[in-house]
Structure 1
Amino acid sequence: MTLFGLKNCDTCRKALKELDDVVLVDVRTDGVPAEILQKAHAQFGEKLLNTRSTTWRGLSADERIEPPLELIARHPALMKRPLIVAGDTMFLGWTAQTADQVRAAG
């Protein structure tokens, strides 16, 4: 199981603490493979883009209308976190419901 997130993100740390056999990929330092991003965007759509982040608030109006995958590729912190990949299944965010689903899939 792979968790794409940030090592200093509280939500990602919570997920890492609760999951066994998970590998953290820090999106700032390691990025997210284009194939994973495309699959995640196909599954989650606009939810993949974290429009509540400080990074988003720092973007200009022109930047905000760019395609989400281009924005995330340029500013990895714009991706909603964590993105968890368990085999062929993906999960976005970390709630009690998501935790149960990830454990069932893992």
Structure 2
Amino acid sequence: MITVYGIKNCDTCRNALKALKEQGREHSFHDLRVDGLREESVVQWLDAAGWEKLLNRRGTTWRKLPEAERENLDELKIKRLLLDNPTLIKRPVFELAGEVVVGFDAAAKARLDELTAD
């Protein structure tokens, strides 16, 4: 089963969930705002995808951060920022078969297809 982490009002998350449903892929949704975020998940995602891919620098949350918070980034600072501000995570994040896939672009869709192929 695919676990989809995201935010219910995120258009990309909604598109991903709709696509999974249409394809008949079994999945569950974990809303980062409602259900929270575990440190273990963030550590796993950072290890699997790297902070450059996981950190959403395009969103409002990033732009609203003080400049000092956006400078001199390292993995420890990123982990703290993501735990304090889950909306800084690029969405959606998929967990399946021990793998982590971030986003819903063509490459992410192809990887999901590979991981769910029978």
- TM-score (norm. length: structure 2): 0.83
CA distance in 1, matches of 2:36, 2:55: 15
Structure 1 segments (4+ residues) deviating >3 Å: none
- TM-score (norm. length: structure 1): 0.91
Is residue 2:35 matched to residue 1:34?
no
Is residue 2:27 matched to residue 1:22?
yes
Q: Deviations over 1:48-106 (max 9, x none)?
A: 11011100000001222461111111111000001000120110000133223213313
CA RMSD of aligned residues (A): 1.3
Matched to 2:12, the amino acid is: T
Alignment of structure 1 residues 1-106 onto 2, 5 Å: 1-19=2-20, 20-45=25-50, 46-65=52-71, 67-106=77-116
Native 8 Å contact 2:6 2:91 kept in 1:
yes
Matched to 1:34, the amino acid is: E
Larger-gyration structure (1/2): 2
Gaps of 5+ in 1: none
Q: Deviations over 1:11-51 (max 9, x none)?
A: 01111111121111111121222212101111222211101
Gaps of 5+ in 2: none
Aligned length: 106
